[in-house]
Amino acid sequence: MTDKNMITITAEKAQLRQTMLEQRNNMTRKERDGFSQNLCEQLWVLISGNKIKILHSYLPMGPEVNVLPLLQKALNSGITVVVPRSLRKRQMQNLIVKDLKTMEAGIFNTYHPKDAMEYSGGYELIIVPGLAFDKSGFRVGYGAGYYDTFLAEQPTALKVGVCYPFQLMERVPVEDHDVWLDLVLN
């Protein structure tokens, strides 16, 4: 890929991020709650149908799809739930959740379980956030590269993106380091 193409893709992603953030922020709480509930139901069918025992999920920030009810249901069902703690330099520390009520603030307005054990094993399912997704399974995140780095290290896990309907597009700009998802639910 030429430097000129990289600049164009970088600019396209920046514009797309801005557009998606604005649209997502303009949703009503009722709309977000309805879509989130539907997505949690779809994810639960996927989890139970595939007999998932170990899953990794983001913890929602602001108006992201709220997967907390799903994570609570997974915990109640004896599923190991692992969530990220964002570190500097595009690194994540993966922590086992025991209780969704004992969280502490992290960097970039994130949060993570307080006093949690680190997890270093494999995953059967990874639930991935993003700002835009396409029908081929590519995504545009917030631009820090945390998930692309992490997903590249998890070749056997089922990688599932979740988004509101307007966030699913025909095509998103793709760079060489972008990791393809197996499924996008909306």
For each of the domains in the chain, give its residue range(s) and CATH number, in order of start. 3-185 (3.40.50.10420)
Contact assessment for residue 104 and residue 116, using Cβ atoms and an 8 Å cutoff: no
Distance CA 99, CA 11 (A): 40
Q: What pTM was estimated for this model as a whole?
A: 0.94
Contact assessment for residue 162 and residue 67, using Cβ atoms and an 8 Å cutoff: yes
**Phi, psi of 95, deg, nearest 5:** -120, 140
- Look up tokens 């997967």; give the residue: 67
Measured on CA atoms in the order 22, 24, 87, 153, is the torsion positive or negative? negative
List the chain pLDDT tens, one digit each, 186 residues: 556 666 799 999 999 999 999 999 999 999 999 999 999 999 999 999 999 999 999 999 999 999 999 999 999 999 999 999 999 887 899 999 999 999 999 998 899 999 999 999 999 999 999 999 999 999 999 988 889 989 999 999 999 999 999 999 999 999 988 999 999 999
